[in-house]
Amino acid sequence: MKWQNALNDFKYYLKIERGLSANSIANYELDVEKLMHYLEVNAITISPIQIDYDQIQSFIYHVSKSVNARSQSRLISGLRSFFSYLVFEDYRQTNPLDHIESPKIGRKLPDTLAIEEIDALINAIDLSKEFNGVKIGERNKTILEVLYSCGLRVSELINLKISDLFFDEGFIKVTGKGDKQRFVPIEQYTQKHIHIWKAIRAHIDVHPEHKDILFLNNRGKQLTRAMIFTIIKDLAKAINLKKTISPHTFRHSFATHLLENGADLRAIQLMLGHESITTTEIYMHVDRSHLKEVMNTFHPRKNS
């Protein structure tokens, strides 16, 4: 079995049987291609069925000299999944990564924005700014309001459709990882901004393939992930914000602020679209003073 054939079969499995997104599949593919490239450069002619523990270990050691522990851990996890698939399909008997340990890494949490910082970023948007007749200032403001108010991933934001808006019921339908759908509450304040943008959008010559996409560029096409990152980076620079932020920072801030104001962790999990409550807990780096306040307020023995 050749490497490319094995990789193609693995990608098909990830898409059809595991229902992973294109981005996730691309990451797995990159992991395997790095190993393939290493073998090619070192003139190691071998199939994925024949590769053994020592060769994998040499590859991991080679990689460790140029990437950090977190990247190593992710690479090992991706390759472990690839070889587990080959074992599952009876192409080989054992997984050569079974005894390869991932480097220990701590939990890395993105910066959280204070409410005042979020307001400052939004207020820094020039609402009069136009590009080819499109009021992109109003669009950018709506984008930030939706990111923060609904806690969306950037991929969920750019794929949000007009047909996903259920304002009468107070929800939007979000398609998350693995095409799994969830309903997220949306406040009237955020709805108002979407209405403003939709009125502007109505005057754009929309590309036929993107008729239902909510957020568009000035050419009537769907926005890219990179464009959202650029919008946020430029605004952070405009207000001289020292924190390193991204679209995910708004999602993290959404969850953190809800928790600090007494929201139930399970409810936050559902709104974020996390399969496991453990994943949600990673976002909740609440300070000790808040935890003490929660204990003093809600513990049944507080007055004993």
Catalytic residue numbers? 153, 177, 248, 251, 274, 283
| Cα(113)–Cα(260) distance, integer angstroms | 13
- Count Cβ atoms below 10 Å from residue 222 Cβ, excluding itself: 17
Structure tokens at 24: 């996730």
CB atoms within 10 A of CB 266: 10
Phi and psi at residue 146, to the nearest 5° = -70, -40
Q: How far is CA 18 from CA 26, 180, 256, in A?
A: 14, 12, 30
Structural contact between residues 244 and 111, judged by C-beta atoms closer than 8 angstroms: yes
List the Cα angle 266/269/274 in 5-degree steps. Answer: 140
Say how far apart CA 269 and CA 272 lie, in whole Å.
5
- What is the 8-class DSSP label of residue 163? G
Q: Rounded distance, CA 210 to CA 223, Å?
A: 10
The CB-side HSE value for 89 (13 A sphere, CA atoms) comes to 16
